[in-house]
Amino acid sequence: MLDGGPPPDPSAAQVASGRLRPLRFGELLDTVFTLYRRNFLLLVAVVAVVQVPFQALSALLPRPAVQLPRTATGTALTQAETQRLLHDLVTSLSVDLALLGVTYALVVPLQTAAFTRAVADRLLGRPASVGAAYRAATARWLPLLGLGLLLVACFVGAFAAIALVFALLVAAGPLGALVGVVLAVAAAIAAVVAYVRLLFGSQVVVLEGMGPWRALARSWSLTRGLAWRAAGVVVVLGLIGGVISLVLGGLVVGVGAAFGAGSTAAGGVTAVGQALVAILVAPILATGLTVLYFDHRVRREGFDLELLAAQLAGSPPAP
């Protein structure tokens, strides 16, 4: 990310130079994987801090196996069977909803904030640790939670409005249905564009200290004219992470099968293995987003390392 070509260690070279320049596509990917490789233990540990307890909680929570009672053909369920089935359904749904709430209220915001701070520290040549990352994360937890709720509300509201318009057009007849299909396609494209333009909301909340609304406006500004490039980076990193997940996931399934298909041991090995794969793969895209955020700031604002590092530290740069 410095003048003079891509360095073997981005963080060290940035500190030595103090100058930042826009990265080419290949250089950006190289920076992401160099950061991941050189800070592997730190980044994996940041993810594991919240993922390991969450996965353990998910595995330990009692969840009944919902099975439809076997009855003779055409025979209705007895009252006891119906009550038991409803009880199992409600219990299982309650557990799933509780886990979903924990995921989006605690796991995602804290992991996102801690990971963003850790990557930013290493990219700017600052000392980084799991403890420091999570101290910064707890300070920005509420704004990140608000950002997540705001995004969900916006997308749900937009989807509901589009669904209502589509239903009304379909009810109007064949021509209305055709117009509805066209509008639905246009809405899908607009949703993708909006996702890319709002890509840096979390980074802005964590690293610039803004609230949810200002963070979204800031992300929209940073991605102006660069949305296609950002989308390309996200797609490539997503594909790389997906391929790695498939390969490692296949190995996990194979190891689990060696303990006997359907056995408790096989299920345990598979669950642990899948959690480990998720922990190993998650840093790839998360690192990419933070590197891409800094690259966009350099492209749009021409900031140097001293100013960026000073802002991260919450103090003015030296004169």
| 310 pLDDT above the threshold of 70 | no
In the predicted model, what is the mean pLDDT of residues 91-118? 82
Q: How confident is the model at residue 53 (pLDDT cuts 50, 70, 90)?
A: confident
State how far the Cα of 228 lies from the Cα of 233, in Å rounded to an integer.
Answer: 9
Question: Has residue 152 got a pLDDT over 60?
Answer: yes
Nearest CA-CA partner of 304 in 314, 294, 313: 294
The rounded distance, in Å, linking the Cα atoms of 168 and 188 is 18
- What mean pLDDT is reported for the chain? 78
pLDDT in tens, 117-150: 999 988 888 888 999 999 988 998 899 989 988 8
The DSSP secondary structure of 3-38, one letter per residue, reads TTS--SSHHHHHHHH----PPPHHHHHHHHHHHHHH
Residue 274's pLDDT band (cuts 50, 70, 90): confident
Burial of 106 (0-12, 13-18, 19+ CB in 10 A): middle
Rounded CA separation 84/93 (Å) = 14
Furthest CA-CA distance within the chain: 84
**Would you put residue 9 in left (φ > 0), alpha (ψ -120 to 50) or beta?**
beta
More confident residue, 275 or 267: 275
pLDDT at 215: 93
Query: At a CB cut-off of 8 Å and minimum separation 6, what does 231 contact?
Result: 192, 196
What's the pLDDT at 239?
93
Closest CA to 199 of 306, 285, 73: 285
Q: Residue 222 has which token pair? A: 């940073």
To 5 degrees, how large is the angle CA 13–CA 139–CA 210?
Answer: 75
CA 96 to chain centre: 19
Tell me the three state secondary structure of residue 2. Answer: coil
How far apart (Å, rounded) are the C-alpha atoms in residues 49 and 296? 29
Of 68-82, 150-164, 206-220, the range with the highest mean pLDDT is 206-220
Distances (CA, A) of 275 to 24, 25, 53, 65, 278: 33, 31, 11, 22, 5
Question: Is 48 within 8 Å of 42 (Cβ atoms)?
Answer: no
The residue with tokens 């900031």 is: 303
Rounded to 5 degrees, what angle do the CA atoms 238, 243, 248 make?
Answer: 125
In the chain, the amino acid numbered 87 is H
Question: How far is the C-alpha of 116 from the C-alpha of 286, rounded, in Å?
Answer: 7
- The alpha carbon of residue 13 and the mean position of all alpha carbons in its chain are separated, in whole angstroms, by 28
Structure tokens at 314: 């919450």
